[in-house]
Structure 1
Amino acid sequence: MAAEHELRHRFTAESVGRSLEALGERWTLLILREAFFGVRRYAQFARNLGIPRPTLSARLKSLVELEVLDRVVYATDPDRFEYRLTTAGKAIFPALVVLMHWGDDHLPPPDGPPLILRHHPCGEPVSPYLACRHCAEEVTTANVTPEPGPGYRGG
């Protein structure tokens, strides 16, 4: 019971829940996947995803409000817009790569992964690896401990 009490702070303003509330809907993640691979225009998103247009409009609006995408006027047509990833949007890329690899490993398609990311500097396929910035050791559930951070307001 004491250990349970010590971990209660994990649920105060819980970051995973807040992130999923903002970004965790299926279409939102697929829109971001397309944006990471160069899609910028509304019609391209609609065509690539087969998404209902009202849903696409709502999700794009939400991503702009969250400052994950910027809505920018087309250079060639001031009445049309394109969507570009912001710094906050680009920061989501590692999470999508991990989700992609998790799906390939644990929900594998019969013919293998449909997409492989190749790392330009070394030429090898990307294999996600979470490491500590300070010591470069791999981060796992066995070597981290959740503790209250500066935003903790519980008791």
Structure 2
Amino acid sequence: MNGLVESVIAETQDISRTEIDEEQVRAFDAEADFIGLSISLLIEVGSYVCVVGNLYPVKTRSWNRDQAILGDDLVRLYKLIDGLLDQTCKHRREISFVLGRLAFECIINLRYLIAYASEELFFSYRRYSLQHERQLLERIKVNIEVRGGQGLTIERRMINSIE
């Protein structure tokens, strides 16, 4: 086995597997039973997402630009799962639904990008994803120009962050 596969196996061995007994699920008579099982499954999924989000190609030990898009979506998915777990445990159903929808959209994006991966698709994704940053950068530059080239500290930090 290559080093990557061995590493993944080692990292996933400590993840607790959620057993699902169909008979037991059929016997559930309270929403809390379903939520408890869902939380266990979501913790397991979040653990796997965390492991996958930390994988790098063996040779380079870093992502290229397109792989970074997928990695970013995995990190976003993990954060959404974490927030979903938090809000579900706090019984904040409306916020849980919002986070669940965002997580679902993130999963759809990941599946689509992986299934139809191409240079054109990733370029289009980057261009669309960065449109707001591009508009913000232009607004900051105009504001600096209006002040005679005098940039504020926050503007310099924002420019550095965008770049």
TM > 0.5: no
TM-score interval, normalised by the smaller of the two chains: under 0.3
Larger radius of gyration: 2
